[in-house]
Amino acid sequence: GAVVSQHPSRVICKSGTSVKIECRSLDFQATTMFWYRQFPKKSLMLMATSNEGSKATYEQGVEKDKFLINHASLTLSTLTVTSAHPEDSSFYICSASPGRGTEAFFGQGTRLTVV
Amino acid sequence: AQSVAQPEDQVNVAEGNPLTVKCTYSVSGNPYLFWYVQYPNRGLQFLLKYITGDNLVKGSYGFEAEFNKSQTSFHLKKPSALVSDSALYFCAVRVGAGGYQKVTFGIGTKLQVIP
C-alpha cells in the first residue's frame, strides 16, 4: 500500500517554544492531507484539512494561529505547534489518500510532550 | 453530518475463539466504511474497506467485516482470535470516494485477547 511518513516520531520541547511536525507521502501525490490529534484512550479528532497550495481548513474549536499548517508541495504537509504548552502534549497523526476510492493511509504519529 | 458509533469500549475474548467488534454508522448518502488497527504509540494500519459490491469484505490478518445496510452496521470479525490481535480498533466512515473528503472515526474499541 501507499506510504505516509511522519517525522519526528517523538519530540519533547519546552513550554513556549514551537515544534514542527512533517508529513510526507512517499510514493504518491496528495493534494489533501489531514491532521488528527489523539488524546489518551480517545478517538482521533480531526484538527484540519491541509490543501496543497492553499490555506488549511480548520475544524471548529481548533486554533489556526496555534496550529499552523503548510502544504507547500504535493508530498509534504507540516504542522507547527506554536508557543507550545503542556496541554498541547498529545499524539498527532497525519493521513492522506492516494486517489479517488482509496482508503486513507496514516503516518506513524508524533508523540509531543511539552515540559 | 456523518458519525460512527462503537458501542463497546473494550472486548475481551479467549485466544482461538471468534471475535466481533461492533460498529454502526450514520450518513447522508452512500457510505465508504473502513476498519483500522492501532498498536501502542503507532499510527493507524488499514485493515479493510467497504466501497460497494459484496457485503462481506475480507481484509488483512484474517479479519473480515459485514456491511449491513438495513442495520447501518459494519461489524469486524475474525473466526479465531490471536493474542497478537490485541490492539485498538477504529471503525471509520466517509461519504464520497474522493481522497479529499474527511473521514470520521469511532471512539475505538480495545480488543484484549486472553491466552
Alpha-carbon span B53 to B49, nearest angstrom = 11
Q: What is the pLDDT of residue B70?
A: 94
Q: What is the pLDDT of residue B62?
A: 96
Arithmetic mean of pLDDT, B88-111: 85
Query: Is the pLDDT score of B91 beyond 90?
Result: yes
Of A46, A93, A97, the CB nearest to B43: A93
Confidence of residue B97 (pLDDT cuts 50, 70, 90): low
Radius of gyration of chain B (CA): 14
Query: Is the pLDDT score of B1 beyond 90?
Result: no
Q: Three-state DSSP class for B85?
A: helix
Closest chain A residue to B48, measured at CA? A103
Closest chain A residue to B34, measured at CA? A103
Q: Scan for cell 493474542, then name that residue.
A: B83
Task: Tell which wins on pLDDT, B30 or B89.
Answer: B89
Arithmetic mean of pLDDT, B3-30: 94
Q: What is the pLDDT of residue A1?
A: 67
Task: Tell which wins on pLDDT, B100 or B74.
Answer: B74
DSSP B21-67: E--EEE-SS-EEEEEEEE-TT--EEEEEEE-SS-SEEE-GGG-EEEE
Alpha-carbon span A53 to A30, nearest angstrom = 11
Residues of B with CB under 8 A from a CB of A: 32, 34, 36, 41-46, 49, 51, 90, 97-100, 102-108
Nearest partner of A81 among A62, A59, A95, judged by Cα: A62
Alpha-carbon span A36 to A91, nearest angstrom = 8
Report residue A44 as a C-alpha cell.
482521533
Of B43, B97, B98, the CB nearest to A6: B43
- φ, ψ for residue B101 (rounded to 5)? -90, 135
Instruction: Give me chain B's average pLDDT, please.
Output: 92
Query: Is the pLDDT score of B99 beyond 70?
Result: no
Residues of A with CB under 8 A from a CB of B: 1, 4, 6, 30-32, 34, 41-44, 46, 49, 51, 91, 93, 95-109, 111
Query: Is the pLDDT score of B19 beyond 70?
Result: yes
Q: What is the pLDDT of residue A86?
A: 96
Chain B positions touching A30 (Cβ under 8 A) are 99
Closest chain A residue to B91, measured at CA? A43
What does the pLDDT profile of chain A (115 residues) look like in tens digits?
688 999 999 999 999 999 999 999 999 998 889 999 998 767 889 999 988 888 899 999 999 999 999 998 999 999 999 999 999 999 999 999 877 767 888 999 999 999 9
H/E element, A44: strand A44-51
Longest dimension (CA), chain A: 42
Query: Is the pLDDT score of B7 beyond 80?
Result: yes
Confidence of residue B100 (pLDDT cuts 50, 70, 90): low
- φ, ψ for residue A88 (rounded to 5)? -85, -10
